[in-house]
């Protein structure tokens, strides 16, 4: 994989779910919406520190509105 330069990490926003903040990020503005809910032990912002994962997210956001979501309690 090349050393492609990507935009900065997207802003982390929070949605209220019964008094608990659920972190999410929105990347891209394509005609379809994809929601990614990572597996056990994930961290929404740390994920961007892994080049292959960041590349994967940017590829998905190239044709969609990608919503990255942390699970409740993560």
Neighbours of 51 (CB within 10 A): 12
The pLDDT assigned to 51 comes to 92
Who contacts 4 (Cβ-Cβ below 8 Å, separation ≥6)? 55
Beta bridge partners of 68: 25, 36
pLDDT tens per residue across span 8-63 = 789 999 998 888 888 999 999 999 999 998 877 778 888 899 999 999 999 999 99
Domain boundaries, the chain: 23-69
Greater pLDDT, 73 or 40:
40
Confidence of residue 73 (pLDDT cuts 50, 70, 90): low
> To which H or E segment does residue 13 belong?
strand 13-17
The model's pTM: 0.81
């Amino acid at each position: 994989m090349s050393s492609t330069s990507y935009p900065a990490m997207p802003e982390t926003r929070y949605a209220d779910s019964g008094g608990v903040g659920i972190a999410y990020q929105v990347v891209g503005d394509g005609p379809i919406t994809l929601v990614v809910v990572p597996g056990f032990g994930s961290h929404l912002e740390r994920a961007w520190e892994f080049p292959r994962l960041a590349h994967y997210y940017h590829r998905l956001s190239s044709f969609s509105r990608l919503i990255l979501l942390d699970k409740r309690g993560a």
